[in-house]
Structure 1
Amino acid sequence: MSGRGVFPSEAHWRSLALFNVFRLLAAMALFFSISWRVWLTRSGDSYDAFIALALTDVTLSVLFAIGIHQRRPAFQLQLSVQAVTDIAFLVVLMHLLGGIKSGLGILLLPYLAAAGLISRGRMTLFHAAVASLALLGEQVVQLWLGQAGTDEFFVPALLCTACFAVAWLAHRLAGFASESEALAHARGVDLENLGQLNARILQDVSDGVIVVDAHGQLRQFNAQAQRLIDAPLVAGQALGALPVLAKALKIWRADPAAPTPLLQLEGAYKTLRPRFVPLGPDPQGSVLVYLEDMDRLRREAQQLKLAALGRLTANLAHEIRNPLGAISHAGQLLREEAGDNLLMQKLTRIIGDNSRRLERMVKDVLELNRRDRVDMRPIMLEPWLTAFVDEFSQSEQIRTPIVVVCPDKAEIRFDPGHLHQVLWNLLRNGWRYCSKRPDSLIVSVASNDGRWQLNVDNDGPPVARDALTQLFEPFFTTESKGTGLGLYIAREICAANAARLEYVSQPAEAGVRFRIVFGMNDGQETP
C-alpha cells in the first residue's frame, strides 16, 4: 500500500462520504419497503423494535457524516465502524423478519464490496469475517429459539462463502485501483512536466511560433512571434489581422509543396521566412507556423564571417599603418616642395585626402577588435548629454542649437568612452543629413517597459527601403567617401554594453530616428 493509504487523500474521504450517503438512503428504502410488512405480520413489540432499529441507523449515519466532515476519528476506524454497523443493522433486521429465510442476507455483499473498495483492500477480510460470524450467530439464535433446524446451516454457509469471495474480489479490485491510481498520478506528473517543458521551449526558441486552427484563428503563440510581427496578438484573433501571413498560409494550403515566399512586414520593415507544419494529416486543419528572422540569420552569418576575418584584418591594419604613415609624410614633403605648381598641389592634396581616408578606415577596423573591452559605469544621462552636445557642437563647428530632452533621474550603466563614440557617430550622421535648422537634430531620453531609451532624431530623408536590411552591415555605405563601419561598430559596442541600437521606421515627414535601448540583459535601469 502506498503512502496515500496510510495518510488518506481527499478522494478517500469523499468515497467514505458517498458510502455513508448510500447506506443512509438504503436504510430509508428498506424502512419504507418493509415497514408495512412488519406492521401487518409482527406484533407491536417487533414493530417498535423495527422502528427503533431504523431510527438508530439514521442517527448513526448523521453522526458518521459529522465525523467525516471533521476528519475525526481516523479514516480506517470510521470505515470499520460503519461496516460493522451495517452488518449489525442487516443481521438484526434479518432476525426481525425471520432470519436467513427472509433473504436479506444477500444485502451484506454490496456493503462488503463497497467497504473493501474504499479501504483499498485493507480490513476487507476482517469485515467478511465479522459478517460471517454474525450470520452464523443469527442462525444459532434461530435454532435456539426453535425457529430453524440443525439441517438449515447450508444457506448461511453459502452466504459466508459469498462474503469471503466478495471480500477477496474487492481486495483484488482495490489493488488494481491503487496501481492504476499510482500510474495515473505518475503519468499526470510526467504530463505536467512535459507541458512545462514544452511551454519553456516554446517561449525560449529563437523562432516565432504560431498555431492557427482550421478556421484561420490564432490559438497559441510565443513571445518571439509577438516581437517579430511587432503587432498585438490575441488568442482567438482572426489571422486576417495579419494579411501578409494569412496570404502566405492560403498559398501554402493550396499547394503545400510549393516554395514559400518571404514575408515583408510593412510596419516593422522586417523580413521573415515562414515554415508551415500541419498538425494532422489534412493541411486544411490546424497548422504550426514557424517564423524565422532573416535579418537575424544574416547577422549571424555576418558574425561568423567577421570572426574568421577578425585576426587577419587586425594584422593587415597594423601592417598598412606603417607604410601609410610613410606615404602621408612623403605627401606633406611633396606639398612643401610643390611651391606654386598647381598640378603638384592637386596631386599632393589627392595623396593627403586618400591617406586620411585610409587612416580612418584602419582605425575603424582596429576598433572591431576592441569592442569587448568594456568598463560599464553608472552614468547620469542629463548632465552627461549636456556636456557631450556642447563638446560635439564646438568640435564640429555647429552653430545651430541641438535640442536635448532628458529626465533628471535617467541613469544607465554604460562604458562612458563607448557611449561617447556611439553618440558621436549618430549625431555626425544626423547633422550630415538634416536641414541644419533649429530643432532639426534632437536627442531625447524616455522610459519604456522599465528601460531607458535614447533617441537621436533628424529631419533628413528616411533610409531607402532596399537599404534597411544592410544598414548595420560592415562596409555598407551610401557615400563614396564613407568606410561603412560606423553604424556597425556602434551597434557592436551597444551589444557589448548590454544595449541595442536600432533604426526606428517612421513616416517620411517625421524624419529619421536611431534608438539605443539600454539594459537589454539585466534590466537594471529602471526609472
Structure 2
Amino acid sequence: MAYVKARASTAVRLIVLPGRETTEVSAAVPAATERSRHTSLRFFNLFRLVLAGLFVVAGRDLGLGDEAPLVFRIVALGYLGAAFGLGFREVAARFGTPRVTALQIVIDVVALSLIMWASGGYSSGIPVLIMVVLAGAGLVAEGRLVLFFAALATIAVLIENAWRLVVGGRPVDFLQVGIFCTGFFGIAIVARLLASRAQAQAALAAERGDALAQQQALNERIIRDMEDGVIVAGDNGLVLQSNPQAAILLGMDGSGVGALEGVRLVDIDPAFDTLMGQRAAEYRLLRLGPGGRLLRCRVVCGEPGSVAAGDSLIYFTDFEDIQRELQQIKLAALGRLTASMAHEIRNPLSAVSQAAELLREEKRSEMQARLIRIINDNAQRIERMIRDVLALGRREQAQPEALPLAEFVSEVIDARVFRDPAERELYRVDIDPGLSFAIDRAHLHQILDNLLANARRYCSGTAAAVHLQAVALAGERVALHVRDDGPGLDAAQRRHLFEPFFTSHAKGTGLGLYIARELAEANDATLELAASTCGADFVLAGHQRP
C-alpha cells in the first residue's frame, strides 16, 4: 500500500532492527560493487576484441606496421587471440578475476607498445589507445595496480623512443613523449577516482535499496496486522487500496490485502456518501457495511507526500470493542462496590432472618404466617444475590482438577432432586464414564446448578425434558451440553443473555449466567449458547486434563 506506507514510514524507522539491517546491507554492498566491476569488464573485453580485430583486418590500411609488417601481424594476431581467450568467464572463475584482469592489461600495454614500435613511434597515435586502456584499467583494477599499469606504459613508451634514438639514430621529441607519459598517470588516477566514486554510489544505492525493501516489508506487515481498518478512496468513491482489517470490520471478505479494491464505497454502504461528503478530521460513529458493526470513522483528505490530491484516507475503529472494554471496566468497579455492599447488607439480613424465625415459634394468626413467609422469601433472595456477588471475587481462586464428568453430574442432580425424587424423571444423562473435565469442583457445581435451574424453570416438565450430553472434542477437550425443550430465546435475549443483571424471570437476580461464564473462563473453559431449533442449548467446553 504505497499511500499508507508513506504515512507509516516514520514509525517504521523506529522499529527496524539495526543489527539485522547492518548485516544484510554489508552483504549487499560487495555484491553491488562486484556487479559494477563485472559490467565494466564485459565492455572492456568487447573493446579489446574490436580493437584487435581492427588491427588484424584493417591495420595495414590504416598505416600501421609500416616499419615492421611481420612483427605487426604477429602481435596483432596474438593480441586478438589473447583478448578472445581471456575474455571467457570460465577463465576468470578458474584463475581468479583480479589475476586475469591484471594479465589482460599487461598484455594490452605490451601489445600496443610493440605495435607503436612497428608503426613509427608515438606519431602513429598508439599512445592515445594506451590512454584508453589505462582509463579502462582504472575502472576495473584495484588499488595501486592502476599506478603500476601507468608506470609500465610509461616505461614501454620511453624504452621505445630511447631505442629509436640510440639504434635508429632518428630524432625524438621527448617533450611530447613526456606529455604522453604524464597523461598516462593522470588518466589512470582520474579513472580510478571516478571508479571509486561510482562504486561508493553503487554501494550506497544498494544500502538504501536494501533498507527500503526492509521498510516496505515491515510496513506491509504492520498494515496487515493493525487492528484499525484503513481505506484509500479516490475522488469518485472507488476503493484504491485497503488492509484486511477494513474488510473484516465492514463485514466483507478479509482474506488479504486489497480485498475491497475496485469496489465503490456506496455499494458497500450508502452511508459512505454522507461520510465522504463531510470530510473532516473529527471521528464519527456509524454502522457501516453488511455486518452493521458500530465503527468510529475518520476521513482525511489528500495531503502532499501521503495521499494523492483528491484521494482520501478513511480510518475505522471497532467501537463495539471499545464499548466492551469500557463495560468490563465498569463491571470491575461495580464488582468492588457490590462486594463491599454485600458484606454490609449481610449483617442486618441475618438479624431479619433470625427475627422471622422467632416470630414463627410464637402463636400466630394466618396473616402473621404470610408475613413471615414473605420475610423469609425475600431474605433468601437477598442471600442468593449476596452469594452470587461474592462469587465474583473468587474467580481468580480456581483450582482445576480432572473431575469424572458422569459421576459429578449425577451428584449434582441427586442434590437437586433430594426433596422431590420424582423430579429425577426430568433429567436424561448421556455421558461416557471415561470422560473427565478439568475445572474447580466448586465452580463446576455452581455452573451446573445454575444451568439446571434455568433448564428446569423453562422446560415442559415432561420426562427427559432436560438432556445432559458430553461430547469428546479434538485436542483432549470435551463439551458438556445442557439442553431443554422449552420455548427457547429470541435474538434480543440471546444478545444480552450473559450480561450482568439481565433476567427474564421475576425473581431472578440476573447474575447467574454472567457468573457462570466468569467461572468457566477462570478455569480456561468457555460457556456459550449454541444454536438450536427447540429450547436452549448451553455448551460448557474445556480440557479433560488440567
Query: TM-score of the superposition, structure 1-length normalised?
Result: 0.76
Report the AA paired with residue 351 of structure 1: I
What is residue 355 of structure 2 aligned with on the other side? 330
Q: Are residues 1:21 and 2:42 paired?
A: yes
What is residue 477 of structure 1 aligned with on the other side? 503
Q: Call closer, same or farther: CA 1:174–1:363 in 2, change over 3 Å.
A: farther
Counterparts of 1:99 and 1:511, CA distance in 2:
112
Counterparts of 2:325 and 2:507, CA distance in 1:
27
Q: Report deviation, 1:67.
A: 4.4
Report the AA paired with residue 58 of structure 1: F
Q: Call closer, same or farther: CA 1:55–1:179 in 2, change over 3 Å.
A: closer
3-state SS of paired residue (1:9) = helix
Q: Call closer, same or farther: CA 1:234–1:406 in 2, change over 3 Å.
A: farther
Deviations 1:23-81 (A, max 9, x none): 3322221233332323556535532332122112211223xx224435x54x5445433
What is residue 349 of structure 1 aligned with on the other side? 373
Q: Which moved more, 1:495-504 or 1:354-363?
A: 495-504
Report the AA paired with residue 296 of structure 2: R
Q: Call closer, same or farther: CA 1:457–1:349 in 2, change over 3 Å.
A: same
Deviations 1:304-336 (A, max 9, x none): 334444444323212211221221222233234
- 8 Å CA contact retained: 2:286, 2:297: yes
Report the AA paired with residue 27 of structure 1: R
Contiguous gaps of at least 5 residues in structure 2: 1-21, 417-422
Contiguous gaps of at least 5 residues in structure 1: none
- 8 Å CA contact retained: 1:218, 1:234: no
Deviations 1:217-275 (A, max 9, x none): 664325x97589595523343466999954444442233249744327766x8544344
Q: Call closer, same or farther: CA 1:263–1:197 in 2, change over 3 Å.
A: same
What is residue 390 of structure 1 aligned with on the other side? 410
Counterparts of 1:402 and 1:148, CA distance in 2:
127
Q: Select which of 256, 273, 284 maps to 2:279.
A: 256
Q: Call closer, same or farther: CA 1:17–1:309 in 2, change over 3 Å.
A: same
Q: Are residues 1:216 and 2:229 paired?
A: no
Q: Call closer, same or farther: CA 1:54–1:12 in 2, change over 3 Å.
A: same
3-state SS of paired residue (1:291) = strand
Counterparts of 1:497 and 1:298, CA distance in 2:
25
- 8 Å CA contact retained: 2:469, 2:482: yes
> Higher relative contact order at CA 8 Å, sep ≥6: structure 1 or structure 2?
2
- 8 Å CA contact retained: 2:450, 2:512: yes
Q: Call closer, same or farther: CA 1:229–1:406 in 2, change over 3 Å.
A: farther
Q: Select which of 55, 76, 79 maps to 1:50.
A: 76
Report the AA paired with residue 56 of structure 1: A
- 8 Å CA contact retained: 1:91, 1:135: yes
Q: Select which of 331, 340, 343 maps to 1:315.
A: 340
- 8 Å CA contact retained: 2:431, 2:470: yes
- 8 Å CA contact retained: 1:376, 1:415: yes
- 8 Å CA contact retained: 2:413, 2:424: yes
Report the AA paired with residue 321 of structure 1: R
RMSD over aligned CA atoms reads 4.5
Q: Report deviation, 1:525.
A: 8.8
Q: Are residues 1:273 and 2:299 paired?
A: no
Counterparts of 2:191 and 2:545, CA distance in 1:
66
Counterparts of 2:455 and 2:157, CA distance in 1:
103
Report the AA paired with residue 263 of structure 1: R
What is residue 388 of structure 2 aligned with on the other side? 364
Q: Are residues 1:131 and 2:153 paired?
A: yes
Q: Which moved more, 1:352-361 or 1:106-115?
A: 106-115
Counterparts of 1:484 and 1:211, CA distance in 2:
42
Counterparts of 1:423 and 1:28, CA distance in 2:
93
Give matches, 1:2-81, under 5 Å: 9-39=30-60, 42=65, 43-44=69-70, 46-62=72-88, 65-70=89-94, 73=96, 76-81=98-103
Deviations 1:181-211 (A, max 9, x none): 5544554565466456546655665x34344
What is residue 289 of structure 1 aligned with on the other side? 315
3-state SS of paired residue (2:498) = coil
- 8 Å CA contact retained: 1:121, 1:170: no
Report the AA paired with residue 390 of structure 2: L
Q: Select which of 506, 513, 517 maps to 1:487.
A: 513
3-state SS of paired residue (1:482) = coil
Counterparts of 1:244 and 1:468, CA distance in 2:
30
Aligned residue pairs total 503
Report the AA paired with residue 493 of structure 1: L
Q: Select which of 168, 172, 180 maps to 1:150.
A: 172
Deviations 1:85-130 (A, max 9, x none): 4333443444444443333433444544444344576644344333
Q: Call closer, same or farther: CA 1:145–1:467 in 2, change over 3 Å.
A: farther
Q: Select which of 173, 178, 187 maps to 1:166.
A: 187
Counterparts of 1:328 and 1:347, CA distance in 2:
12
Q: Call closer, same or farther: CA 1:27–1:494 in 2, change over 3 Å.
A: same
Report the AA paired with residue 78 of structure 2: A
- 8 Å CA contact retained: 1:443, 1:456: yes
Counterparts of 2:357 and 2:247, CA distance in 1:
58
What is residue 425 of structure 1 aligned with on the other side? 450
Q: Select which of 391, 399, 415 maps to 1:375.
A: 399
- 8 Å CA contact retained: 2:285, 2:294: no
3-state SS of paired residue (1:61) = coil
Identity of aligned residues (%): 33
Q: Call closer, same or farther: CA 1:5–1:498 in 2, change over 3 Å.
A: closer
3-state SS of paired residue (2:296) = strand
3-state SS of paired residue (2:396) = coil
Q: Call closer, same or farther: CA 1:148–1:50 in 2, change over 3 Å.
A: farther
- 8 Å CA contact retained: 1:210, 1:225: no
